[in-house]
Homo-oligomer: A and B are copies of this chain.
Amino acid sequence: MANSHLVGVRIETFDDAQKQFYEARNDGFAFIGIDLFPVLQLCPQSPHDVAEMLPLVRSDSIYPKKGMLYLILRCLGDSICGAIVGFTSKWIDCDSTDPRISSISQLCLQKELSWAVHLALPAVEVSIRHDNNVKLARVLTAFIKSEMAPFKIWISVPMYVGGDNASHTCGRDASSPWHWWCQLVGLAGPAACESLGLLLEMPADLPEEGIVSRWLSEPVTCLALSTQLFITNSKGFPILSRAHQHVLRKFLKINAQVLIKGSSQHERGLSIYRQYISWLWKCTVEAESLYEKYSIGFEDQLQEPLQPLQDNLSSATYGVFEMDPYKYRAYEEAICLALVHRCTSRKEGESRQSPLLELDYKGDCDVKQVIYILGAGQGPFVDASLQASRRSGCPVRVYIIEKNSNALLTLKHRMQTDWLGEDVHLVPGDMRCLSAPPPEKADIFVSELLGSFGDNELSPECLDDDGISIPASYTSYVAPLQSLRIHIDVSRCMDNPKFQERIHRHSETPYVIRLSNCQILAAPEEAFTFKHPRKDIGTTTNSRYCCLTFVPREDAIVHGFAGYFEAVLYDKIMLSIHPQRHSPNMFSWFPMVFPLVSAVPVKAGQKIVLHLWRCISPRYVWYEWATTEPTVSKIHNSGGSAYKIGL
């Protein structure tokens, strides 16, 4: 969520407009919605009207009312023109079945858009009201392409069409407002869509959950709230019903602004509504989870997955990760439990070992347990190991294996300070090929090579040793994802000359993304599992393939697949970013996204079939993915051509 929130107001009458305008400013509204062409607010009703209007429109002799023009220019003079959203005329219907209305609508819309460009407005509202918006899409797209999109176009659309005259399932029909919007988006294409946002109209009767939530994956720039939606509380103040609050807060979380429409039902005027929304926003911010707080500013940003094997991480990167309140505690628990298990099995003197510990047991409790820390970074696992040793009463000897020469400097320093007197040893080098390995074998290996997709930081390639491994196993999960924003961002490089050298890279690269403005279309399914130590080295490889089927409950557009992981560190100690059982407050991993180059529309109940490969060559590991249902996609990242992880 952003750290400030904007509430605007719609001015619909023009009696004493200037006064209203200043009132709105004084009431603290951040922006104001006004009609661009008030003179044309009357819809042409008859062929006669059209015949009368057409020459006026063609000849450029039609202009907005003088007073309004003055008001707007005055505002420009006040240098707050950036706070005006221009509303195009309501009667405009480019796709009217009456060809005369359609024709004059297209002409007038172009004229109003040009006027808005001239006024340098930051945003213009255009409404869609029915299921066919092909001609509107053409006018808008051509305008965006030719004018280099100087402003955002707010497409105003009802959240759903239902209520008294239609059934509540209406929103699910192929003709729901969401489908209207999807047609417009499809016709505009990802490049032009960057200039489009939604002005979503909150209805009095709320639709079912599914109808609301699919809007959460769309770029809802603003939510329109009529003053009619508000109820009066016991103290006489206008408030929203619990249900409306609940929906509004969901949209506030994806940074939707709010526009108040209609006349005030309260003596203190419209400012009381603004104050209420601001208060709701503050409550929403305060109720944020630690995960949400730590990821502020990262929402829906495409990040390239880290490659700690190939690249050295910076100290800042280490620092951020080490702040995670859950992860290091979980590791400490796991090490502690592993130590206890080993000591217990010794103390009981049983020859039958615990099923969790199918290892040779070398000594007794006085013999120190040997722990290898594989990739120690700045040493948090050393702390965790020493702490676990103290808690369990099992003595340990710790070998730190680290290849990052910068991190080694920090570790050396800590050897002489924090760990002075402890049985801690530093082994510089790559864990896969140590020139001078530690003099004794490990009882426990501790590593943190887990990526957002589990195996994507090449843990399977690094951990082939025999011993207790922490993590003991990890499984990746995949789910189909709808997010126009991610689709636009992934497609961006395709249209931007600056990014052309990286073409087909960006669009076929897996990204790490803090998912917010999106919708998961079906429950995640298991993809790949790796276990350590491996019992079958030599007969199986680390290459994997899975074919997963998903069935979305609603019509949807698949823009890619979200990837998660779940790891068993040891015994019952888990790390998980699976959305249904996420480790509390753990922010070290955001989900992975495997984008699709082309958006794939899918109907409710239709199958989505994903093929996902983990591929291996002597020097690289990479993923490839493709769909075969509902349509056949190309194989993404074929041969690792766009993205591969260096060994």
Contact = CB atoms under 8 A, between A and B. Distances in A.
Interface of A: 134-135, 137-138, 141-143, 145-146, 182-183, 186-190, 192, 494-495, 497, 500-501, 503-504, 545, 547, 598, 601, 611, 613, 615, 624, 626, 628, 631-635, 638-641
Contacts of A547: 134
A624 B500 contact: no
Contacts of A135: 545
Number of copies: 2
Contact of A134 (B141, B615, B628): B628
A554 B141 CA distance: 33
A613 B102 CA distance: 14
B628 A183 contact: yes
B145 A639 contact: yes
A166 B581 CA distance: 50
The 4 closest A-B pairs by CB, nearest first: A186-B632, A189-B634, A142-B639, A145-B639
Contacts of A183: 628, 632
Identify the interface centre among A613, A628, A632, A639: most chain B CB within 10 Å of its CB.
A632
A559 to B, nearest CB: 14
A138 B187 contact: no
Contact of A639 (B146, B182, B495, B613): B146
Contact of A189 (B190, B628, B635, B640): B635
Contact of A638 (B138, B545, B615): B138
A626 B613 CA distance: 34
A633 B134 CA distance: 11
Chief secondary structure at chain A's binding surface: helix
Contact of A497 (B182, B186, B501, B598): B501
Contacts of A495: 503-504
Contacts of A504: 494-495
A611 B183 CA distance: 13
Contacts of A598: 598
Contacts of A501: 497, 500
Given A187-B632, A497-B501, A500-B503, 13 more contacts: A138-B624, A138-B638, A141-B635, A142-B615, A142-B635, A142-B639, A145-B639, A187-B634, A189-B635, A190-B634, A192-B638, A503-B503, A598-B598
A599 to B, nearest CB: 9
A146 B624 CA distance: 14
A197 B322 CA distance: 55
Contact of A601 (B138, B141, B601, B631): B631
A501 B500 CA distance: 8
Contacts of A186: 631-634
A638 B497 contact: no
Nearest to A147: B639
> Interface centre among A183, A635, A641, by most B CB within 10 Å?
A635
A407 to B, nearest CB: 34
Given A635-B187, A635-B189, A624 B142 contact: yes
A639 B501 CA distance: 25
A237 B613 CA distance: 53
Nearest to A138: B635
A626 B631 CA distance: 19
A318 B107 CA distance: 40
5 contacts: A143-B639, A186-B633, A187-B628, A188-B634, A189-B638
B500 A137 contact: no
Contacts of A497: 501
Nearest to A600: B631
A638 B134 contact: no
